[in-house]
Structure 1
Amino acid sequence: MDKKTKPPTIADVAALAGVSAQTVSNFLTGRFKPRGQNLQRLEAAISELGYRPSAAARALRLKQSGMIAMLLEDGADLSQERMREGWEPLHGMFLYGATNRARELGYYVTPVLTRQGTAEMEAIRLVREGRADALICSTELMPEAQLERLQRIARTEKVPIALLQENRKRDFICGVAAADEDGGDQAAAHLAALGHRRVAIMTVKPSWPGPVRRRAGFEAAAARLGLSVEVWQAEHYTVEAVRQRTAPELLREDRPTAVFAVNDVIAVALIQLAIELRLDVPNDLSVLGFNDLDVAAYVRPALTTLRTPGAAMGARAVEVLVDAISGKPLASTALLPVEFVPRESTGPTSRA
């Protein structure tokens, strides 16, 4: 019986490419990319030998799992229909960007769905059981005490943590966020440029970090621009909660001429309700959203919004964590720009 061919090793790749084994290792983990002929020889050697990195070998050598756990907090009640309560629509974008970038850097991302308020305890369990080399958390706005406990976990266990949508600075924790305040500022400036003077912001009781900062940016810019702002706050991030809160406002003769919604789901619910009440969007009411979810381009009228770089945020979180795992200093914050996307749901006001 023929013996099975032994799989190629890093040493085999290094010998064929004429480089050091450390150079091969650094290339495979994304810490360093050779240039010129060295890169060409290295890629050719990997291809010729059919080399595939061994996650198990790396884990034993470095005492690492090769896994990054991604905690996704979901406020939904599992007894109800999925997506009706609390599910953060950006979770999918974050996960897509994180998993793709992690694979490129030789890691895997494991999604962990957590219940509301349980992310801290789940993080402790994952770290102490050695199930992850680093953590990414997409959670509701953490109280300061909870954030401090999470910081202690990162420090004592030497496991770096990236918090998505957060920009509060903490040692051993990196906040990876979109420029939500700037997005709110752009929204207010857009409505002011269209002649709107009485506007509303449609939000939900403070829960997710991004919408909280969007509102702050919008209100600060509105004050600077001389806009009169009403705050419409629903109890939950659900279509029904938004409809209940806004129906009385839309029926008012003196209603605002434009509404800035802190996410696209709220904005779409608002547009549909306005149409049902025989209001013309945008002639009777301009509506502006945030995130640029897929639905934004297909609702009618198409939604003017601000694009959150969700996939890029997930990828960036992985990058800073892999750097930290390899011994580099953990960045305190990473702020990614948002992009204004003009469509058909906003226009010049027809009312004074």
Structure 2
Amino acid sequence: MTPPESPQTRTARRSAQTATLAEIAREAGVSAPTVSKVLNGRADVAPATRHRVEGLLRAHGYRRRRAEATRSPLIDLVFHELDSAWALEVIRGVENVAREAGLSVVLSESAGRLTPGRTWADQVAARRPHGVILVLSELDESQRALLTSRSIPFVVMDPAGDPGTDVPSIGATNWQGGLAATRHLVELGHTRIGAITGPSRMLCSRARVDGYRAALETAGLPVDPSLVVAGDFHHDAGYRLGVQLLRRPDRPTAVFAGNDLQALGLYEAARELGLRVPEDVSVVGFDDLPVARWVGPPLTTVRQPLTEMAEAAARLVLDLGRGDAAAATTRVELATSLVVRSSTAAPSKLSDQRALEKS
């Protein structure tokens, strides 16, 4: 049990903190109240002054004292986009953990940008939440420094890029998932397999298509670059790029769609072109959203444990808030798994013959 802090120790600690603030104020050429405003995320500080003070706070390694006592009962959950069933699964997972901890969840969106704007960082600093979870997003150096100086822990879920070894993150085995999806199609007998990827700037998207390529190469099949088209993880891209692939005279007999929304767009493209799933084209998605089992035909997909990933991210951010040193460098990848339903089958001989006649 930690012994109570003596009055002398408490006085010395307060004096050291005051001296540090005073030193930062002198170096910045501002008053101590101005430094306090910056620390508290107040908006009434000139941008140039804020930048100068925050630079000195970083240089001095200053952190807010007694951060736990000043935190609001909130977890900030940040999405780069908030417009799909994918996001609902993540929200559900974070809410499960937050509810148990007596916390609420604040949602925000960075309007498609992978890095939230500066206004967002100031608002988070003013709210002083228990922690921040960024989904398919990342922070720039100034935002990381702003949160660190206020002792606001943050975790990245499904990082957009390499978060670095010093940023706690939760992800999934995307490469293994892409490998499993494509291997399943190869084992069914498909040799001409297309792929609709996600954005190339996203780490998860690159890992999935790398798994696709690895499966083809392992099977001794050529990787045809013309059959790999870049999407954006949205339904419209699956439809548009699906039409592009399926109108080819040498069209693929199977497509790995990269995520479930693009797979559903591909379904629509096939229907419009008079093709049947899976008789004329097999389709595999990624995510295993609830809708995947109810569409016709039910979608073969790679299950990404989104709710479990979100729960793990929320627990990790709470561990960081409690000062768990081991959590500070935690990087976790939860396993993906192939869920086989009715959207995949062996290639039809008639379909292969038609493709050969048109080539």
- 1:242-275 CA distance string (max 9 Å, x none): 3333324212332111100011111111122212
SS at match of 1:228: coil
Q: Does 1:132 align with 2:125?
A: no
Counterpart selection for 2:168 from 164, 171, 174? 174
- What residue in structure 2 maps to residue 325 of structure 1? 321
Greater helix content: 2
Counterpart selection for 2:235 from 234, 239, 253? 239
- What residue in structure 2 maps to residue 26 of structure 1? none
Report the alpha carbon displacement of residue 175 of structure 1 after superposing the two structures with TM: 1.3
SS at match of 1:324: helix
Residue correspondence of structure 1 range 137-156 to structure 2 within 5 A: 137-140=134-137, 142=138, 147-156=140-149
Q: Does 1:255 align with 2:248?
A: no
- 1:1-37 CA distance string (max 9 Å, x none): xxxxxxxxxxxxxxxxxxxxxxxxxxxxxxxxxxxxx
Change (3 A) 1:147 1:199: farther
Q: Does 1:112 align with 2:108?
A: yes
Contact 1:205/1:233 (<8 A) preserved: no
Q: Does 1:64 align with 2:62?
A: no
How far apart, in 1, do the equivalents of 2:140 and 2:184 lie? 35
How far apart, in 2, do the equivalents of 1:216 and 1:270 lie? 21
Matched residue count: 279
Q: Does 1:316 align with 2:312?
A: yes
- What residue in structure 2 maps to residue 99 of structure 1? 95
Contact 2:171/2:332 (<8 A) preserved: yes
What one-letter code is carried by the residue in structure 1 that aligns with 2:284?
L
Gap runs ≥5 in structure 2: 1-65, 353-359
Counterpart selection for 2:178 from 166, 172, 184? 184
- What residue in structure 1 maps to residue 36 of structure 2? none
- What residue in structure 2 maps to residue 303 of structure 1? 299
What one-letter code is carried by the residue in structure 2 that aligns with 1:114?
S
Report the alpha carbon displacement of residue 158 of structure 1 after superposing the two structures with TM: 2.6
Report the alpha carbon displacement of residue 66 of structure 1 after superposing the two structures with TM: 2.2
Contact 1:99/1:109 (<8 A) preserved: yes
How far apart, in 1, do the equivalents of 2:260 and 2:281 lie? 16
Counterpart selection for 1:164 from 153, 157, 160? 157
Report the alpha carbon displacement of residue 197 of structure 1 after superposing the two structures with TM: 1.4
Gap runs ≥5 in structure 1: 1-58, 76-86
Q: 285-294 or 108-117: which moved more? A: 108-117
Contact 1:199/1:227 (<8 A) preserved: no
Report the alpha carbon displacement of residue 148 of structure 1 after superposing the two structures with TM: 4.0
Change (3 A) 1:168 1:249: closer
Structure 1 residue ranges, 4+ long, deviating more than 6 angstroms after superposition: none
Change (3 A) 1:157 1:281: same
Q: 188-197 or 213-222: which moved more? A: 213-222
- What residue in structure 2 maps to residue 228 of structure 1? 222
What one-letter code is carried by the residue in structure 2 that aligns with 1:93?
E
How far apart, in 1, do the equivalents of 2:94 and 2:282 lie? 35
Report the alpha carbon displacement of residue 240 of structure 1 after superposing the two structures with TM: 3.5
Change (3 A) 1:122 1:338: farther
How far apart, in 1, do the equivalents of 2:102 and 2:110 lie? 26
Q: Does 1:265 align with 2:244?
A: no
TM-score by length of 1: 0.72
Change (3 A) 1:88 1:220: farther
SS at match of 2:287: coil
Counting aligned pairs with the same residue, the percent is 29
Q: CA RMSD in A?
A: 2.5
